Amino acid sequence: MNIKLIKQNEKKIEEDIEIVLIKNLKKVDKKDKEVLKSIDFTKTSKKTFLLLASKKLYVHCRIFKGEELKVLLSNIIRELKQYKFKSIKIALVQENKELSIKDICEGLILGSYVYERYKTKKTNVKCNIFIDIKASKKELKRLELEFKNTRIITSSVNMVRDIVNTTAEDYTPETMSEDARKIAKENDLTCKIYGEDYLQENNMHTMLAVGRASRHESKLIHLHYKPKSKALGKVILVGKGLTYDSGGLSLKPTSGMINMKLDKGGGSAVLGVMNSLRELNYPYEVHGIIGAVENMIGGDAFKPGDVLYAKNKVSIEVRNTDAEGRLVLADCLCYAQDEIKDIDYIFDVATLTGACITALGTYSTGIMGHSDKLKNKMRKASFNSGELVAELPFNSYLKPIINSKIADISNSTGSAGGASILAALFLDRFIKEENKNKWLHLDIAGPSYAESPWGYNSYGATGAGVRLILEFINNLKK
């Protein structure tokens, strides 16, 4: 799908169809009004009516902004795709209300996404979408910038969707490393990739253990963005990049294993953010660190009952090899804080616990941390980006539950109660004291993958985390 702006000095576009949003029939052409009135269009549950004679798709719209508009437009573009129109137009001003270019672009671009890499027969629907901004009262440069930035972000979201949707056989830790190198080259970032020798030499034994039984070497990826001018602050992103998770010797059931390609969602989201920063010209220094690992079974697999030592020398009793993501993140968080000084914010992003889906449903990211101020900033980013978040609170009674009788802590308690919070409290043991109030844990297990379409997400990966984090960083300068 190709999306463009129609400006004042450009020729009239001969579109196949125009999307017209209406709340009532007052502004509709007389001839079309009679047809719409005859079917009682605005008073029925029907949302759309296609009038080919007028080359218009009328859409009953209650709210002309925000998530409601995005979801409505995503449903419209899916409907129009079946007709295979070559060009579609939508005016920025509808019923004297000026819409947001961001809302229009996100609804249309994210809603039109399909993943067809493994399909023999592709849909191959090529379509030009034109946003007519001629009646806009806003400054042209402002509109063009909003359009450009939204396209950058949605492009990265769809890139992440592609990565997460790719099967584990085709997407390994090495593949993730190659993507990181490509992103670095295209965006003038610094990129460092470390293999298992580095992990061994630097006492990153928990990450090393998780990938030990895989035929694919584990990779520690470090991307670094520096703005052209002096950075206003420093943000660290740490992503769980489990390219596949069998559960290890604590083997998952078949039903729980089928879509475990999604376990790289956190690391992929970090790639998506890093892919956007240069073009968005954000004035903050950002580090993206990803533990790219495959958790498999075999004679060399780590075992329940093992005691591992993380980079910060904390000993961990392994009670469940399927609680592997927190082991990878533990070493990555230690690495980040050892290598990078003067941190302003540090976030880890991970498809960490199924318990988060039980607690919040499939649509919300769970946020956990010590600082209410920081959580409030993330909530603001949630509202502006459209990605839902909800807090799961820490408390002093939960903290001792992760203690081990034979080591410092356990990687699993065996209890379903508070499991998402306990996983975050486990990670908290690897956050240095001076960074406690700068850290948030983002559990994207629910919204990262859609088992059935919802909102502007089709089946499969959603790209969760990209818009949320970019919005958070963008808000820092306000």
252 tagged catalytic? yes
Residues 6+ apart with CB under 8 A from 280: 149, 152, 153, 470, 474
| Domains of the chain, CATH where assigned | 2-137 (3.40.220.10), 155-475 (3.40.630.10)
CA gap 448, 151 in Å, rounded: 20
CA gap 238, 432 in Å, rounded: 15
Q: Please, which pLDDT band fits residue 225 given cuts at 50, 70 and 90?
A: very high
From 252, 375, 377, 379, active-site residue: 252
pLDDT of residue 87: 94
Tokens of 107: 């609804």
From 102, 161, 278, 326, active-site residue: 326
pLDDT of residue 282: 97
pLDDT of residue 84: 86
CA atoms within 13 A on the CB side of 436: 7
Are 250 and 320 in contact by the 8 Å Cβ rule? The answer is: yes
Tokens of 443: 């559990």
% the chain with pLDDT above 70: 100
pLDDT of residue 355: 96
pTM score of the predicted model:
0.97
CA atoms within 13 A on the CB side of 248: 24
pLDDT at 477 exceeding the cut of 90: no
Tokens of 89: 């137009």
Q: Where are the alpha helices (DSSP H) in 100-219?
A: 101-105, 111, 140-165, 173-187, 196-201, 205-210
Q: Please, which pLDDT band fits residue 44 given cuts at 50, 70 and 90?
A: confident
User: Residue 397, exposed/middle/buried by CB under 10 A (0-12, 13-18, 19+)?
Assistant: exposed
Q: What is the rounded average pLDDT of the residues 93-99?
A: 93
429 tagged catalytic? no
Residues 6+ apart with CB under 8 A from 220: 193, 194, 195, 198, 199, 204, 207, 289, 290, 291, 292, 332, 335
User: Residue 201, exposed/middle/buried by CB under 10 A (0-12, 13-18, 19+)?
Assistant: exposed
% the chain with pLDDT above 90: 91
pLDDT per position as a tens digit, 144-155: 999 999 999 999
CA gap 110, 462 in Å, rounded: 9
pLDDT per position as a tens digit, 97-134: 999 999 999 999 999 999 999 999 988 778 899 999 99
pLDDT of residue 136: 92
Q: What is the mean pLDDT of the chain?
A: 95
pLDDT per position as a tens digit, 388-411: 999 999 999 999 999 999 999 999
pLDDT of residue 458: 93
Beta-bridged to residue 91, according to DSSP, are: 132
pLDDT of residue 55: 94
Q: What is the rounded average pLDDT of the residues 301-319?
A: 98
pLDDT at 271 exceeding the cut of 90: yes
Query: Would you give the distance in Å from CA 468 to the centre of its chain?
Result: 7
Minimum mean pLDDT among 25-39, 156-170, 310-324, 426-440: which range? 25-39
pLDDT of residue 124: 72
pLDDT of residue 123: 83
Closest CA to 452 of 462, 444, 443, 442: 462
Q: What is the rounded average pLDDT of the residues 32-48?
A: 88
H or E element that contains 379? helix 372-385
Q: Please, which pLDDT band fits residue 27 given cuts at 50, 70 and 90?
A: confident
Q: Please, which pLDDT band fits residue 45 given cuts at 50, 70 and 90?
A: confident
CA gap 324, 333 in Å, rounded: 14
pLDDT at 338 exceeding the cut of 90: yes
Higher pLDDT, 185 or 84: 185
pLDDT per position as a tens digit, 344-356: 999 999 999 999 9
